[in-house]
Amino acid sequence: MKKAAFFDRDGTLIKDVSYLSCISDVELLPGAIDLCLRLQAENYLLFVVTNQSGIGRGLLDHDFVEKTHQYLGRLFADNGVVFTQFYYCPHHPSQNCLCRKPSPGMLAQASREHNLDLTRSLMFGDRESDVRAGVTAGCKSFYITKVLENL
Ligand SMILES: [Mg+2]
Ligand SMILES: [Zn+2]
């Protein structure tokens, strides 16, 4: 089984602009590339797991979120970082889905689809919901600011 490093997207890899709706607003956060490179060198598969309730709220559509992830994938690839897959929850919080963090659904899905050992995997995020999703999934989980302070 492989080990994974899961990343929240907004506020962790890129600046959180609250319902990103324009690709030109994508801004990499300092340290994100370096952290990804280090984890990749330690044989972690990299994944993004992001709540995109803007879809459920009618502010964004699937096509935009998928285009954003293709763009982000290229941006990271230009810096030598390969994300294995991007997962996103499109639901409104009132839908009580199983994928919206702090539920661990996206991590569990990635584990099934990519044969991951979650107990050897890591989760990085900027909010408590990220850390709770990671812990519930069985991953060691970290607030990104604390990790970057210590890089
Ligand atoms: Mg975030
Ligand atoms: Zn969901």
CATH of the domain at 120: 3.40.50.1000
Quick one: DSSP state of residue 14?
B
Active site residues: 8, 10
| C-alpha of residue 56 to centroid of ligand 1, in Å | 17
What is the number of structural domains in the chain?
Answer: 1
Counting runs of H as helices and runs of E as strands, what totals does the chain give?
A: 6, 5
pLDDT, tens only, 36-76: 999 999 999 999 999 999 999 999 999 999 999 999 999 99
Output the CA 90–ligand 2 centroid distance in Å.
Answer: 5
What is the tens place of the pLDDT at every residue in 29-38?
Answer: 999 999 999 9
Which residue type occupies 70?
A: Q
Ligand 2 centre from 139 Cα, in Å?
20
CB atoms within 5 A of ion ligand 2 belong to 89, 91, 97, 99-100
Using CB atoms within 10 Å of the CB of residue 37, give its burial: 0 to 12 exposed, 13 to 18 middle, 19+ buried: middle
pTM, to two decimals: 0.97
pLDDT tens digit sequence for 100-124: 999 999 999 999 999 999 999 999 9
Contacts of 14 (CB under 8 A, 6+ apart): 20, 26, 27, 28, 29, 32, 72
How large is the average pLDDT for residues 15-21?
95
Quote the tokens at residue 145.
Answer: 């600011």
How far, in Å, is the centroid of ligand 1 from the Cα of 127?
A: 6
Is cis: bond before 102, omega within 30 of 0?
A: yes
Confidence class of residue 150 from pLDDT cuts 50, 70 and 90? confident
Domain carrying residue 140: 3-149
Which pLDDT band holds residue 151 (cuts at 50, 70, 90)?
A: confident
